[in-house]
């Protein structure tokens, strides 16, 4: 019953965001570290030398002073490189009463037994829904080349199998492959799916989440390196071929994902986001140093947690925040259509089907 109440709370807030200005964000995109073992061709996070990242005590204060999140996307870098990741989730779980879902991506390069242990411990905290995204950008040789780490593909498959064992006894756990389409794997999506299915016969097209490679100066740190990006008819055709193989599931998450993918085709064809974003309305991005941005795609810092005593309300209605919202209304936001931001634009509309 508690999980149902929390889901309804998230659904109501998401729906409400389509009609009125929210007093606070319901989704937090939070990069807890920028340390990363990958050497990705499409991302430069791994080249950073992060120092002075938010401590566990600082994150606890952040969670205590902002006790209203319903959806937290913990990201990195590689989130599982933080040995205190369970304590971080615990801090938000203890303070945000209506927290429904926590999502965490992983490159699968951390010891898989450690990841599995952390996943079990997070579930033991009583999180209603935990979703792990396993980054996978191609079949064995291709994925290892794009990610720059030999043997990475096999680690992904190994972790998938271990997580599948947990899911058999705990339906709160979900996991998907996160596939980023770029110049490096153009035309290889269906081949990748078939190769993965050889390793994991039970895998379906619904087990893949797709994004297009994009640029961001405050997150990916790859601004101006767009030669790897893919768009236009080439990307749209590949996406459409993939989408028609997905099966319909009467599940809110799958319905939102289907809507995201259909709009991703539109974005690929037009180069324009299909819907206005809810950045700095429904969601906010906080990086590993406590810097606050509208989104992972917009390098417009509006504050720092350490400088405002970890209380987001001190900047939520600031002139900087108002300027960002005006820019969004005027269509001046950087071009983007990523799941980190697009889901908020879609969720309220989809929830009309269920409420």
Please tell me the predicted confidence (pLDDT) of residue 350.
Answer: 56
Say what the pTM is: 0.92
Please tell me the predicted confidence (pLDDT) of residue 353.
Answer: 44
Give domain 2-351's CATH architecture: Alpha-Beta Barrel (3.20)
- Joined together, the tokens standing for residue 191 give 């081949």
Please tell me the predicted confidence (pLDDT) of residue 22.
Answer: 74
CA–CA separation, 339 vs 27, rounded Å?
12
Please tell me the predicted confidence (pLDDT) of residue 54.
Answer: 98
Please tell me the predicted confidence (pLDDT) of residue 11.
Answer: 61
Please tell me the predicted confidence (pLDDT) of residue 253.
Answer: 79
Domain boundaries defined on the chain: 2-351
Consecutive sets of 10 residues in the chain, 355 residues long: mean pLDDT of each? 59 62 89 97 94 97 97 97 98 96 98 97 97 98 98 98 97 96 95 98 97 91 74 89 92 85 92 88 96 94 97 93 92 87 76 48
Q: How far is C-alpha 185 from the chain's CA centre?
A: 21
CA–CA separation, 92 vs 84, rounded Å?
13
Reduce the DSSP state of residue 284 to 3 states and report it: strand
Please tell me the predicted confidence (pLDDT) of residue 147.
Answer: 97
């Amino acid at each position: 019953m508690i999980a149902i109440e929390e889901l309804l709370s998230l659904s109501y807030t998401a729906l409400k965001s389509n009609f009125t200005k929210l007093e606070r964000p319901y989704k937090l995109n939070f990069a807890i570290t920028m340390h990363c073992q990958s050497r990705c061709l499409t991302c430069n996070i791994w080249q950073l030398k992060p120092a002075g990242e938010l401590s566990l005590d600082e994150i606890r204060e952040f969670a205590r002073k902002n006790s209203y999140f319903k959806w937290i996307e913990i990201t990195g870098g590689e989130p599982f490189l933080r040995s205190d990741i369970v304590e971080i989730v615990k801090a938000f779980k203890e303070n945000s009463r209506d927290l429904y879902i926590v999502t965490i991506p992983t490159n699968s390069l951390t010891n898989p037994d450690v990841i599995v242990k952390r996943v079990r411990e997070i579930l033991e905290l009583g999180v209603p829904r935990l979703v792990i995204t396993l980054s996978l950008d191609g079949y064995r040789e291709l994925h290892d080349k794009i990610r720059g780490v030999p043997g990475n593909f096999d680690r992904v498959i190994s972790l998938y199998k271990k997580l599948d064992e947990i899911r058999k006894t705990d339906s709160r756990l979900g996991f998907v492959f996160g596939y980023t389409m770029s110049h490096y794997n153009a035309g290889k999506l269906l081949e990748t799916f078939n190769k993965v299915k050889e390793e994991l016969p039970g895998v379906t097209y619904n087990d893949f989440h797709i994004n297009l490679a994009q640029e961001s100066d405050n997150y990916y740190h790859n601004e101006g390196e767009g030669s790897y990006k893919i768009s236009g008819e080439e990307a749209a055709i590949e996406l459409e071929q993939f989408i028609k193989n997905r099966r319909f599931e009467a599940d809110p998450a799958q319905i939102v994902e289907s809507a995201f993918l259909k709009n991703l085709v539109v974005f690929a064809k037009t180069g324009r986001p299909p819907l206005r974003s809810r950045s700095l309305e429904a969601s906010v991005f906080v990086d590993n140093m406590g810097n606050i941005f509208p989104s992972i795609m917009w390098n417009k810092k509006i504050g720092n947690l350490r400088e405002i005593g970890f209380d987001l309300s001190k900047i939520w209605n600031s002139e900087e925040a108002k300027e960002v919202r005006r820019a969004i209304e005027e269509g001046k936001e950087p071009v983007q259509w990523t799941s980190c931001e697009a889901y908020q634009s879609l969720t309220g509309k989809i929830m009309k089907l269920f409420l």
